[in-house]
């Protein structure tokens, strides 16, 4: 049976367009990825433990603690906690980038898990082609949001 008529080979080639397994992970890289995976799991589990309250007694942001002005990342912890509780509208109110960044963190944790399980580097061709542009657009949008928050602080 040829590769063109074999249904398993067709599925494998379709899968290979989205995800490619690269080189084997070295012990040092494996340890670093394991630490990153465990850190993300800790953050996810902590999101389920804490309460998402609009007024939090502890201010984690040094910029906000010094100036009293919310930065672009302020509310991200509360947004993730609200998302863990299923409160999407509250999460967006805390920080509109919360759901997007949580989705990216979940995807990263998933692919780190795959890399740890297979002990091989996972390459996503679409991500490799567009990573710089997408992360640049996200950083620009977050900086614009931070400027908006500062401007709104002084106009209110």
Rounded-to-integer distance, Cα 102 and Cα 108, Å: 10
Six-digit token string for 70? 């919310």
Is 117 contained in some domain? yes
Domain count, the chain: 1
In a domain, 83, yes or no: yes
The answer to whether residue 5 is domain-embedded is: no
Residue 37 CA to residue 113 CA, distance in Å, equals 7
Distance CA 153, CA 54 (A): 17
Enclosing domain of residue 75: 24-155
pLDDT tens for 119-146 read 999 888 887 888 899 999 999 999 999 9
Residue 10 included in any domain? no
pLDDT exceeds 80 at position 13 = no
Question: Is the residue at 13 inside a domain?
Answer: no
Say whether pLDDT at 15 is over 60: no
Structural domain contains residue 105: yes
Checking 122-126 for CB contacts under 8 A at 24+ apart, the result is 122/19, 122/20, 122/21, 122/22, 123/19, 123/20, 123/21, 123/22, 124/18, 124/19, 124/20, 125/17, 125/18, 125/20, 126/18
Q: What is the pLDDT of residue 7?
A: 54
Angle (CA) 47-51-56 rounded to 5° is 110
Per the structure block, which two tokens stand in for 144? 């614009």
Q: Return the CA Rg of the chain.
A: 20
Structure tokens at 28: 């040092």
53 within some domain:
yes
Instruction: Report if residue 6 sits inside a domain.
Output: no
Task: Evaluate if residue 61 carries a pLDDT over 70.
Answer: yes
Q: Are 69 and 63 in contact (CB under 8 A)?
A: yes
Q: What is the pTM of this model?
A: 0.77
pLDDT of 30: 95
The per-residue pLDDT for range 78-124, each reduced to its tens digit, is 888 889 888 899 999 989 999 999 999 999 999 999 999 999 998 88
Q: Please tell me the distance from the alpha carbon of residue 146 to that of residue 143, in angstroms, as a whole number.
A: 5
CB atoms within 10 A of CB 69: 15
């Amino acid at each position: 049976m040829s590769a063109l008529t074999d249904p398993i080979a067709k599925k494998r080639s379709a899968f290979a367009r989205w995800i490619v397994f690269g080189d084997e992970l070295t012990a040092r890289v494996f340890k670093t990825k394991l630490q990153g995976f465990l850190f993300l799991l800790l953050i996810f589990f902590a999101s389920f433990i804490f309460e998402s309250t609009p007024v939090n007694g502890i201010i984690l942001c040094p910029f906000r603690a010094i100036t009293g002005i919310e930065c672009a990342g302020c509310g991200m912890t509360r947004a993730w906690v609200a998302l863990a509780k299923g409160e999407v509208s509250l999460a967006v109110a805390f920080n509109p980038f919360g759901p997007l960044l949580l989705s990216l963190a979940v995807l990263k944790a998933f692919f780190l898990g795959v890399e740890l399980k297979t002990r091989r580097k996972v390459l996503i061709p679409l991500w490799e082609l567009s990573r710089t542009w997408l992360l640049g657009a996200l950083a620009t949008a977050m900086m614009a949001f931070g400027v908006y928050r500062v401007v709104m602080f002084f106009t209110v």
